[in-house]
Amino acid sequence: MEAQTPTARRHWLVEFYGSTVGKKWVMAITGVILMGFVVFHMIGNLKVFVPPVDGELEINLYGEWLRSVLFPALPHYVFLWILRLGLIVATVLHVEAMISLTRRNAAAKPQGYTKQEFQAASYASRTMRLTGPLVLAFVIFHLADLTWGIAPFNPDFIHGDVANNLTASLTRAGWVFFYAVANIALGYHLWHGLWSMFQSLGLNNPRYNAARRLFAQAVTVIVVGGNLLILAGVFFGFAPGI
Ligand code: HEM
């Protein structure tokens, strides 16, 4: 008889990470981190509406502050890079969890699904699969435009002058249109993502449906509404802070 090799026991965290429930938690936690970023990013960018004090533009001061959080305890940029690494890791894990959940769903699709159930589920997941990559593509374009200032994207970019860079970028109609479309896609993604997050974590007691719906709608309307207002303010010239 052949001897059986004992299977090495993996740490419970590794085990959990590999499970379907674990992937759903990863999706939810990283989604909430990314949501937190877009909420704070929008609030920070509302400084375009704050008139300058003593000739100083608050949006530029805010950019400088972000680069020097915890200075001199930490050198410039260190804290910002910790935040950036957190965002990069959250994005990678969010996408990885989505890919493995999609593969598992496809492999386990029950034969007895009613046509209606299948259509409803696939409509929601199809739109998530469309808006997710669109938002990711937008972020890369947006970094090239307003963070790295790569010449073909933003030829008048000046490092550290956020107000100048915003004006140079968002006074071009095509750019503003793309930013608006991407923000609407982000809104859809947030709305559906926040709503289904509770469902997939099993926190779906019908008693709290109204509260869940309100939460998903409020976050979406605040983020997308704020971003569209900023776009309009820069494009139509009613943002005194730039
Ligand atoms: C109207 C909407 C938006 C405006 C006006 C805007 C503006 C800006 C500006 C000016 C910067 C550069 C900041 C600096 O150099 O100090 C920036 C960076 C960034 N934005 Fe946006 N943004 C918008 C929407 C978004 C959205 C919807 C996302 C994500 C889905 C996003 C993700 C980022 C990221 C990841 C960075 C890089 C942050 C870093 O340097 O660490 N932005 N944005």
Query: pLDDT digit string (tens) for 168-216?
Result: 999 999 999 999 999 999 999 999 999 888 887 888 788 888 999 999 9
Nearest residue CA, atom 7 of ligand 1?
45
pLDDT tens digits for range 74-83: 999 999 999 9
Task: Please check whether residue 160 is in contact with residue 63, taking contact to mean a CB–CB distance below 8 angstroms.
Answer: yes
139 alpha carbon – ligand 1 mean position (Å): 8
* pLDDT at residue 7, rounded to an integer: 64
The pTM (predicted TM-score) of the whole model is: 0.91
Phi, psi of 56, rounded to the nearest 5 degrees: -90, 130
**C-alpha 83 to ligand 1 mean position (Å):** 13
pLDDT on residue 117: 57
From CA 142, how far away is CA 231, in angstroms rounded? 13
Mean pLDDT within 128-136: 95
Residues 6+ apart with CB under 8 A from 234: 48, 166, 167, 170, 171, 176, 242
Cα 129 to middle of ligand 1, angstroms: 22
> 12-102+118-236: what CATH class?
mainly alpha
Percent of the chain exceeding pLDDT 70 equals 90
pLDDT score, position 223:
98
